């Protein structure tokens, strides 16, 4: 089903992209539009803005959802979210009667437009108050290099763990090899961060980023619950590990037991040939 109306928020103080500014903007917008449900992306901004807005408005919120739906009988907003480090799913129902807020993982579920109403939804522009004074200020902007893939946007992600051992191996085998060939984004586990293999901003997991790519290639990753909480939503997981008993193989659709230094170059070469033939 498509949207009934599209609202554009306009205020000069939104340009900086500061969380407290967006909390104020959404608070004013909710007061004017009176929505029943507000869904935010479960990204860095949404994870911070959602709970703060819910506290300010004294309304319920469910976060980190992989699915959000309306219960036709009770009218409750039902959020489905991972629990126990991704080992199970819980359903949390927010009863009607007030605004309900949910944060939804990117690439979760599917969005469809009703064929019976193909016309674009009407739009409205809300000119917000100019009186907001933020509590924070931007000191520096770090812009990714041109063409760099964001983890959350990538359809293919290559993740590494302690088994990759060094940052040099990560760069040569993964960044300049497999990931470059596939056009994939790269990331890894907390262990890989602790060992200096990858920078902290590329951490995937319970305390890092959450990704839901079409394909997740796990190299040298044991498959701990903490890490799988960040990548378990992948459609297909491919695992490469020297330990045949590694937990990652329980999640993987395809698995290779072997040294990544031998497996990855062969895989990269084969994939490059296949992609060249399909081009």
Q: What are the pLDDT digits (tens) for 45-100?
A: 899 999 999 999 999 999 989 899 999 899 999 999 888 766 788 999 999 999 99
In whole angstroms, what is the distance from residue 194 CA to residue 189 CA?
A: 9
pLDDT, tens only, 177-195: 999 999 999 999 999 999 9
User: Do the Cβ atoms of 80 and 15 come closer than 8 Å?
Assistant: no
User: Do the Cβ atoms of 30 and 98 come closer than 8 Å?
Assistant: no
β-pairing verdict for 185-188 and 88-94: unpaired
β-pairing verdict for 236-241 and 215-219: parallel
Residue 25 gets the label, from left (phi > 0), alpha (psi -120 to 50) or beta, of alpha
- Alpha carbon of 211 to those of 123, 177, 214, 228, 233: distances in Å? 31, 21, 10, 10, 7
Contacts of 204 (CB under 8 A, 6+ apart): 151, 157, 159, 187, 188, 189, 210, 211, 227, 230, 231
Q: Could you give the 3-state DSSP secondary structure of residue 60?
A: coil
Mean pLDDT across the chain, nearest whole number? 87
At 79 the pLDDT is: 94
pLDDT-derived band at 137, boundaries 50, 70, 90: confident
In whole angstroms, what is the distance from residue 67 CA to residue 81 CA?
A: 7
Percent of the chain surpassing pLDDT 90 = 59
Q: Report whether pLDDT(119) > 60.
A: yes
In whole angstroms, what is the distance from residue 204 CA to residue 209 CA?
A: 5
Residue 25: both structure tokens together: 């903007």
DSSP per-residue codes, 233-266: T-SEEEEEES-TT-THHHH-SEEEES-HHHHHHH
Percent of the chain surpassing pLDDT 70 = 89
pLDDT-derived band at 114, boundaries 50, 70, 90: very low
Flag the least confident range among 4-13, 30-39, 57-66, 86-95: 4-13
If 0-12 CB within 10 Å is exposed, 13-18 middle and 19+ buried, where does residue 266 land? exposed
Q: Report whether pLDDT(116) > 60.
A: no
Q: Report whether pLDDT(264) > 60.
A: yes
């Amino acid at each position: 089903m498509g949207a009934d109306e599209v609202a554009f928020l306009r205020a000069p103080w939104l340009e900086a992209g500061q969380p407290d500014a967006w909390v104020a903007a959404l608070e004013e917008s909710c007061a004017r539009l009176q929505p029943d449900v507000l869904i935010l992306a479960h990204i860095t901004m949404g994870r911070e803005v959602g709970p703060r807005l819910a506290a300010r408005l004294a309304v319920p919120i469910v976060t980190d959802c992989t699915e959000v739906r309306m219960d036709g009988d009770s009218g409750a907003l039902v959020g489905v979210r991972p629990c126990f480090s991704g080992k199970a799913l819980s359903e949390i129902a927010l009863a009607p009667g007030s605004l309900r807020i949910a944060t939804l993982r990117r690439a979760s579920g599917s969005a469809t437009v009703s064929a019976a109403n193909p016309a674009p939804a009407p739009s409205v522009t809300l000119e917000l108050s100019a009186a907001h004074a933020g509590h924070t200020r931007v000191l520096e902007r770090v812009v990714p290099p041109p063409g760099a893939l964001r983890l959350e946007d990538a359809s293919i992600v290559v993740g590494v763990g302690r088994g990759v051992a060094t940052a040099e191996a990560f760069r040569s085998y993964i960044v300049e090899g497999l990931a470059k060939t596939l056009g994939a984004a790269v990331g890894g586990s907390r262990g890989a961060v602790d060992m200096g293999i990858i920078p902290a901003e590329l951490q995937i997991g319970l305390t890092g980023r959450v990704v839901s790519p079409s394909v997740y290639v796990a190299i040298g990753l044991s498959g701990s619950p903490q890490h799988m909480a960040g990548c378990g939503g992948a459609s297909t997981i491919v695992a490469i590990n020297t330990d045949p008993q590694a937990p990652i193989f329980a999640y993987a659709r395809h698995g290779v037991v072997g040294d990544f230094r031998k497996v990855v170059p062969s895989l990269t070469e084969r994939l490059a040939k296949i992609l060249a033939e399909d081009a």
